[in-house]
Amino acid sequence: MTLLAVDALSKTFSGGTRRGSRGEVAAVVDLTFSVEEGEFLTIIGPSGCGKSTLLRLLAGLEQPDSGQVILQGQPLPDPSDRQGRFGYMPQRDTLLPWRTVLDNVILGVELAGGSRDAARKEARLLLPLFGLDGFENNWPSTLSGGMRQRAALLRTFLAGYDILLLDEPFGALDALTRRMLQKWLLGVRTRFSKTILFITHDIDEALLLGDRMLVFSPRPGRITADLKIDLPHPRDENTILEPEFLALKRNVLAHLKL
């Protein structure tokens, strides 16, 4: 069942008026695709090609110049229509330093007007699954990078949205921590019926995690390939060595022209 449809979405940003400004910059052009309920869609492309702009358009943080976002068959023409419909996690974890881990992860529920007590109870049940058991009273400054990202992901999951927009959640981590969190996320996603759009610059990560992949062109971002990732589950770190995985990777590299 199609949960989300994007139809001919385009966005151009206006530059400043100071000397040396670049004037108008086309970020994305004519993006058209759909996402099925429960699908894990990875999005990959060169830096500056509009991937983050797409998520901001979906989340209602930007308004497209043309095109539309359709959720469950209902067009959402205005940013206010889209705000509060998607769980959005930007590239930085944005944990609040004056709140403990537990109070950080329930923030989305609080802002939506949900019960603080019920959210704290649910969060305590999920802390072990997110590798945060025993750290609920810690300040964010005491956590490792990987733990901060898991806390931010738990906050996003707890907010209760059916569609999660994750903008390079592991991009700032070292390679070993990143591999650990990829393996962790593969396990976590089986516990939740979520639809996920996941931006990454890492081809291995995109193929390992995703059910499907969109490949973006250099700016202005256009979809140059829509690829089904037909790899069996469960997947783990050895999956990236399989012949089927390597064949898919060669195909992606050809579309990226790398």
Are the C-beta atoms of residues 218 and 49 closer than 8 Å to each other?
Answer: yes
**Averaged pLDDT for residues 143-157:** 91
Is it the case that residue 12 has pLDDT exceeding 70?
yes
- Model confidence at 19, pLDDT cuts 50, 70, 90, reads very low
- The 10s digit of each residue's pLDDT in 69-92 is 999 999 998 888 898 889 999 888
Residue 228: the pLDDT is: 96
Number of CB atoms found within 10 A of residue 203's CB: 19
Residue 17: the pLDDT is: 45
Are the C-beta atoms of residues 50 and 207 closer than 8 Å to each other?
Answer: no
